[in-house]
Structures are given as structure tokens and as C-alpha cells.
A = this chain, B = another copy of it.
Amino acid sequence: MNSKFRTPIIIVNFKAYLEATGKKAVELAKQAEKVSKETGICIGVAPQFADISAVAQTAEILVFSQHIDPIQLGSYTGHVLAETIREAGATGTLINHSERQLKLSDIEAIIKLVRDKNLVSCVCTNNPNVSAAVAALKPDIIAIEPPELVGTGVAVSVSQPEVVTNTVRLVREANPEITVLCGAGISHGEDVAEALKLGAQGVIVASSIVKAKNPYDILHEFAGAAKQRKMN
């Protein structure tokens, strides 16, 4: 098991939502921390770059950057460095999110870079084949999210279970040490339970938490379902 985090894990992607920007990002991270402490489930958040330090200072929780560039220090105006987000308090980074896709050689370079900095790498993929390709690059986490389900409220674990099971199978075959998450449309505790039943070791979520009237309640429901599943 990866010592940098426990499973099951729930990652909440703050995207560029107004409800998770600036002070609201910090507030949301605090609630995630509260749920994590109450349920014992590992929770990570992925705020925007400019919010990483405030979030990391306030909440004891995994903090992921939403993206990182395949570069070392130097003349890279406007880029995101591993070094800088780590100093700001991030413990990991999303890589190749469907809304910020990367060239293959850059994904490989970033995974290496992130490993050197002792950060957690979470590479997002769009289907089982692409997940199998990424598995060869040995990231810590692969998060499969079929793009057509993102933001729909139709959970991948319920409507496309074979996407999850095929990803789990192909990644396991390539490298059993990689943690597999699934995401897209996860809206209810049952969606989380179903994801774990299919072999995923957690979920990546966004709008269902960030845009909820009461994010704490929904996240508690998700974490509770994960805990229930873990104990069975």
C-alpha cells in the first residue's frame, strides 16, 4: 500500500467553481477535514493554484494541485512548478485531467518529477485502454472518468460498471500497486459504495459536493458509504 495516503480515498476537485474559490475554498476544505476526522476516511481536495497555500495552512487534509507542468525551475513564466506547489503545502497533484489534458511524454515526465519531490501523482484517464497505458508509467493513482458522464449526475459506477471493472483489471495486471479511483456523475452514497464494490479504491468528485447546498452532508454520506464498504 502506498504510504502517502490510505484507501479508500475521496478526492474533491474544486475545479474553477465560484463556490470553492478563495475563502470559500478554505471553508470547504475545513468541512472536508471534519468529515475525514469523523469518519476516518482519507479525503483529499484539489483547489485552484492560488488557493493552495491558504487551504493547506488551514485544513489537515491531502491537498492536490489541479495540474502541474513538466518543467524544472527557470524561465517558465505562467507555468506551475512542483517545487512551488509543494512549498505552498500541496501533497500531490492531479495530472492530465480531462479539462487539462497533456502530451504523453509530458505525463511521463511529470510522474517522474512528482515522484522525485515525494508528492502523490493522480493521473486522470478517459477509458480503460488509456488507463492501461498510464499504468505502465507507474503513477500512485489512476482516476478513470468517462468524459461524457462528467457533471451529469449519472454515476459511472452505476451506468458504466464495466468501465470501472475493466480499468481495475487492466491496471492491476500492469501494476498491482497503483490505486484506482473512478469518477463522473457520483452523486449519492450508493454510487460510492458501488464504485468500491467494483474494485475501485475510492472516487473523485466535484460538482456533487462543491455545488451542494450543504457540502458537509453529502461528503459525509459519501465517506460513510466508503466506511461501511471498508468494514464489510
Contacts and interface: CB of A to CB of B under 8 A. Distances in A.
Interface of A: 13, 15-18, 21-23, 46, 48-54, 65-67, 71, 73-81, 83-85, 87-88, 90, 94, 96-105, 107-108, 125-127, 129-130, 132-137, 150-151, 170, 174, 206-207
A25 to B, nearest CB: 9
Nearest to A127: B108
Given A16-B84, A73-B16, A133-B104, A78 B94 contact: yes
B83 A21 contact: yes
A88 B15 contact: no
A168 B95 CA distance: 27
Contacts of A170: 136
Given A77-B94, A77-B98, A132-B137, 20 more contacts: A13-B77, A15-B75, A16-B74, A16-B84, A17-B73, A18-B73, A21-B73, A21-B84, A46-B77, A51-B53, A77-B97, A77-B100, A78-B97, A78-B99, A98-B105, A101-B104, A102-B104, A103-B103, A103-B104, A105-B130
A84 B51 CA distance: 8
A152 to B, nearest CB: 12
A51 B49 CA distance: 9
Contacts of A87: 21-23, 50
28 contacts: A15-B75, A16-B73, A16-B84, A17-B73, A18-B83, A21-B83, A21-B87, A46-B77, A48-B81, A50-B52, A50-B90, A51-B84, A53-B53, A66-B78, A67-B78, A75-B151, A75-B207, A77-B94, A78-B94, A78-B99, A79-B100, A96-B104, A101-B104, A104-B130, A105-B126, A105-B130, A108-B133, A135-B136
Contacts of A206: 75
